[in-house]
Chains A and B, each alone.
Chain A
Amino acid sequence: MGKARRPVQIMILVLIVLLGGYAVGTTAFGGDGKPKEGGRAPSFELLGLDGKTHSLDEYQGRPVVLNFWGSWCAPCVKEMPALEAQWEKWKAHGVIVVGINVGEDQMTVQNFVNGVGVSFPVLMDQDREAVRSYGISPLPTTFFITAKGTIDTIHIGQLDLGTLDAQIGKLVNR
């Protein structure tokens, strides 16, 4: 029979393995689209309190602590001083703390930031687009993202100073 038979056979089998692997990989192991520890942190473009648009890409090469919060959420309010303290401690090491406010308007966020004395960058997610792409349900939720842009740890609930310090230390030493 035809001489081209073997290469064609191999090509078809390779194609089936590739397509099949892709199908199994994306559907069965792709999960529900929510980011997971070890996965890539989704990018976002949000308006900062400084009036400029910020994205995750601009912090590339630096470890990022991404904190989702709301002024109405009591544990978020309680952990703010710890975040602020750790921001002061670690910013010299290149670590950046970013607060993403969930669904509130500029006035509320500004008043809150002034009242509590937050100096790290705060972004506003009024349309809850980052909330959606990060799959946030309870607040506060904090993502510890490595300098390479992968999610190291996801912490749901209030953070205390000790845990925060240990987590950031781990990020910096990676």
Chain B
Amino acid sequence: MSGNPPLIVNTKCECGHQNPVGTVLCEACGNPLLDGADSARPLEMRYDGKARRSQKTNPGVIDRVWNFFSSVKIAIYLIVLTLLGSTLGTVFPQESTFLHIDPSTYYKQRYGTAGDIYYRLGLSHTYESWWFITLLVMIGASLVICSLDRVLPLYKALSRQQIRKHRRFLTRQRVALATKVAEGPEDWVSKAVQPLKKQGYRVMTDGGALLAEKHRFSRWGPYIIHIGLIIFLLAVLARGLPGLHMDQHLAFPQGEIVHIPDTSYYLVNERFTVEFYKDEEMPEEFRGKKVLPKLYETKAVLYECTADCGDPSREPKLAKVASHAIQVNDPLSYKGMKAYQFDYDLTPVLRSVTPKLVNSATGESYGSFKLEMKNPQRSFTAGPYTLELKEKYMEFGLSEEGKPISKSPYPNEPAFFFLIKGPKLPAGGEPYFYFPKQNDKAEFQQDAINDKLGGQGRFLELEVGDMSGVDVSESTSYLNVRVDRAMPFVWVGAGIVMLGLVLGFYWQHRRIWLTVGEGELTLGAHTNKNWYGLRREVSSFLKKMDINADEKSLENGGDPA
């Protein structure tokens, strides 16, 4: 039965103070309450002996939940579990690292059965899984509750300190001394004030008792760290809120203005450059074997829509807001939005051609017009002739029924079907098929088709003289457009953590209590770390008071560090 605590604990101290359940040292005089008067072990000074808030005789459901989270042991288990969980997420790459994969087949194909099991267990998205987020939330709860449960009692204990302490409290400190003094109590104490003040202590006296204290603020360090961590966690959580976080990969063909979805911004890739190292610039072993990129650069201009935005029936009004030569790790940045270089494609894309209408018999030219691949004009005039655009095919092909169709929406093998009207042509107009690309013209036999459609007397042709009549987007740059408005809060949180660390690491809360009475000086001292430094300080103080006590002799058992 000895292991069970008694049902009703008498928590009244011999000094008359009524302490709450769980109190280790009397709140008033510091007398150790839990162990017998004969014990000489150094005192447990955590939270200055105050009961933690959660310590209660009859815990209810809420108290039990509260106690669960206020336990440091539970917090450590949670952290270890989270660490193990995070480790699992690093076995194979996470789904979020790929842009275009089907995870249900990818993991099996790439990593075999292990990959399949990994995917099926949901570990391919570990950091977004319910159990991982739940662990994080529980750590957050533990942070808040652990802190509250300890910081408030500690604050109360430290702000209501009694100067005169129980003798047992003093003799059972890790740094302690009892020695004879000749002077009267009040004289000795008043003499002691000055040297302690010199050592940087705040000194309070009460007759023959004295309390000297310094650097109490360092005790708040751990709690400041917790506040920083909570801000950090909340900021990470807030990224899920709409508008705070965006991460998309977009294609920007050179020279084309592209709307950035979910924003009022438009971006133009004015010129994309990729450069590679020349052979002579590379180390010998790479020459002729490797192609190493030297530079990826997108000259980008950012526009903001100022009016008629989001209404597709109207042309948006744009104002230039920023421009930047985007390179790897040097994004375009505007009001929290960042555009990073991500990928490129050097396949040229045909944008428009400017063919001339010529008389193939006489060589006479009737003028030219610009034919856009996307949203072309529907009718053109060249000299006395009008050309009506009837059909267009971006990637020309024939359907199963033999009808002309487009095989894709991309202008890979474009074809245009015109009806030409004018002098010496049939009244209904002359049909004409036009393939702007020379290759396609031969492949699809443009002349043969037109001969068949227009008959023998056909004399008009569309021709592109040289490359000046061809407008090509030379390349496409892929940019990663990101917004992360939670980032400043992440930094603030991290900064507060750092402040807390500095406070807790570089300063120590030191206290010296002493009482003089009946010709004896009793001294006890406490610090939260660096006992060596404290002993030295106490020893040098005593020396000034003409008491020779070397540092070692002050040691009173326990951890001597």
Closest Cβ neighbor of A128 among chain B residues = B261
Do residues B130 and A28 form an inter-chain contact, with CB atoms below 8 A? yes
B312 touching A72 by the CB < 8 A rule? no
Residue of B nearest to A125 (CB): B312
Q: Which of A115-174 contact B (CB under 8 A)?
A: 124, 127, 129, 132
| CB-based contact A27/B375 at 8 Å | no
Establish whether residues A53 and B313, one from each chain, have CB atoms under 8 Å apart when the complex forms: yes
User: What residue of chain A has the Cβ atom nearest to residue B156's Cβ?
Assistant: A1
* CB under 8 Å from chain A, chain B span 403-436: 405-409
Shortest CB–CB separation between residue A33 and chain B, in angstroms?
11
A137 nearest CB across to chain B (Å): 9
Q: Give A74 to B397 CA distance when docked, in angstroms.
A: 12
B-contacting residues, A53-74, CB 8 Å: 53, 70-72, 74
User: B140 touching A29 by the CB < 8 A rule?
Assistant: no
Q: Which residue of A lies closest to B236 (CB)?
A: A23
Instruction: Kindly list chain A residues whose C-beta atoms are within 8 Å of the C-beta of B348.
Output: none
Whether, in the assembled complex, B129 has its beta carbon less than 8 Å from a beta carbon of chain A, the answer is yes
Q: Closest Cβ of chain B: how far from A112's Cβ, in Å?
A: 9
Among B84-92, B141-149, B181-189, B446-454, the stretch that binds chain A is B141-149
Which of B9-17, B387-395, B535-543 lines the interface with chain A?
B387-395
Q: A9-B66, A13-B65 are in contact. Are A51 and B313 (CB under 8 A)?
A: yes
Q: How would residues 359 to 395 of chain B score, 1 for a CB under 8 Å from any chain A CB and 0 otherwise?
A: 0000000000000001110100000000001111011
How many residues on B have C-beta within 8 angstroms of the other chain's C-beta atoms? 45
Q: Closest CB-CB distance, A37 to chain B, in whole Å?
A: 17
Q: How far is the CB of A133 from chain B (nearest CB, A)?
A: 8
Cβ–Cβ < 8 Å partners of A105 in chain B: 374-376
Are B261 and A129 neighbours in the complex by a CB distance under 8 Å? Answer: yes
Q: With A12-B144, A72-B395 in contact, do A28 and B128 touch (Cβ < 8 Å)? A: yes
Contact B409 A70 (CB under 8 A): yes
- In the complex, A159→B53 CA distance in Å? 66
Determine whether A103 belongs to the interface, using a CB cutoff of 8 Å to chain B: yes
- Smallest CB separation, A4 vs chain B (Å): 11
For the complex, give the distance between the alpha carbons of A129 and B409 in Å: 16
- Residues on the B chain within 8 Å of A127, using CB: 258-259, 261
A108's closest neighbor in chain B, by CB?
A: B392
Q: Mark B13-53, 1 if CB is under 8 A from A, else 0.
A: 00000001000000000000000000000000000000001
Of all chain B residues, the one with the shortest Cβ separation from A102 is: B409
- Docked Cα-Cα span, A10 to B66, in Å, equals 9
Whether A83 sits at the interface, judged by CB under 8 Å, is: no
- Using a CB–CB cutoff of 8 Å, the interface residues on chain A facing chain B are 1, 5-6, 9-10, 12-13, 16, 19-20, 22-24, 26-30, 45-47, 51-53, 70-72, 74, 102-108, 111, 124, 127, 129, 132
Given A24-B134, A53-B312: 20 more A-B contacts, CB < 8 Å: A6-B62, A10-B62, A12-B144, A12-B145, A16-B137, A16-B140, A19-B137, A20-B137, A20-B140, A23-B136, A24-B130, A28-B130, A29-B130, A45-B312, A47-B312, A47-B313, A71-B405, A72-B406, A105-B375, A124-B312
Q: Identify 17 residue pairs between A and B in the complex whose beta-carbon atoms are under 8 Å apart, listed by A's number.
A: A6-B62, A9-B62, A9-B66, A13-B62, A20-B140, A22-B237, A22-B240, A24-B130, A27-B128, A27-B240, A28-B129, A30-B240, A72-B395, A72-B406, A108-B394, A124-B312, A129-B261
